[in-house]
Amino acid sequence: MSKVAIIGGTGLTRLEGLEIEGEEMVTTPFGEPSSPLVRGRLEGREVLFLARHGNPHRIPPHRVNYRANLWALYQADVRAIFAAAAVGGISEFMGPAMVCVPDQIIDYTYGRSHTYYEEGLDHVTHVDFTEPYDATLRGVLGAAAAAAGVEAHDGGCYGATQGPRLESAAEVRKLRRDGCDMVGMTGMPEAALARELGIRYACCAVSANWGAGLSEGEITMEEIERCLEAGMAKVRRILRGAIVRV
Ligand code: HPA
């Protein structure tokens, strides 16, 4: 039977409440994933958990082996993924610790291995990416948030930047003009690789800070960590409800 996975990001290296049944380090034709696949039960439902940045958190966004991560989950029969992601807020509804289930993405990353369609092809494939996030899984996240009494904005555009540095104020102004509601460093190529593998994928984004230039002074790691703690507590509640609904 196909399985469901959660990819945890910054602030969600472990999934509290997950009853761990096993842990497996796997290899893929694309190298090793960021962390072992943790097999367990959340609210009684089988789920796999992968820490995107490793556990402990040590792999920066531009060095994550996204192809290995997604392939490892695919090999394990995962056909639906909920991804948690820390972002900087750009639009009004994405203030610190606020949650959003984005429905669009713009890719500003570069130099990342971003496709499985690279070598030894017998034909060229262009996957459809009109709707980058799976509508059913997005609905599940929305319903789970409502049931848990957690405010989660339905829809928004995620701007995926290269990192690991944060943006300049002018870059955030440009992202806003482009229509981005939030900015993060890991949304791509993760979403596109999931699509190439035919894995349904949706994201639960948490604002760790206002994007550069949208609040007074510098953005500090302390501020990011503090807001993420509050935001990821909401995400955990949403994910528990999502797992039983999917
Ligand atoms: N920019 C990009 N990625 C982020 C940010 C940000 O401001 N905050 C958390 N992840």
Give yes or no for residue 111 having a pLDDT over 90.
yes
Query: Distance from CA of residue 198 to its chain's centroid?
Result: 17
Which amino acid residue places its CA nearest to atom 8 of ligand 1? 88
Nearest to 158 by CA among 213, 117, 109, 215: 109
Position 10 scores a pLDDT of 82
More confident residue, 62 or 18: 62
Give yes or no for residue 11 having a pLDDT over 80.
no
Nearest to 212 by CA among 170, 151, 153: 170
Please state, as a whole number, how many other Cβ atoms lie within 10 Å of the Cβ of residue 113: 14
The CATH number that applies at residue 7 is 3.40.50.1580
Query: pLDDT-based confidence at 94, cuts 50/70/90?
Result: very high
Give yes or no for residue 17 having a pLDDT over 90.
no
The whole-number average pLDDT for the span 181-207 is 98
Q: Which residues contact 172 (CB under 8 A, 6 or more apart)?
A: 88, 90, 183, 211, 212, 213, 214
Domain tally for the chain?
Answer: 1
CB of residue 167 inside a 6 A radius of ligand 1? yes
78 close to 193: Cβ distance less than 8 angstroms: no
What percent of the chain clears pLDDT 70, i.e. is strictly above it? 100
Domain with 23, as residue range(s), is: 3-243
CB of residue 190 inside a 6 A radius of ligand 1? no
The whole-number average pLDDT for the span 218-241 is 93
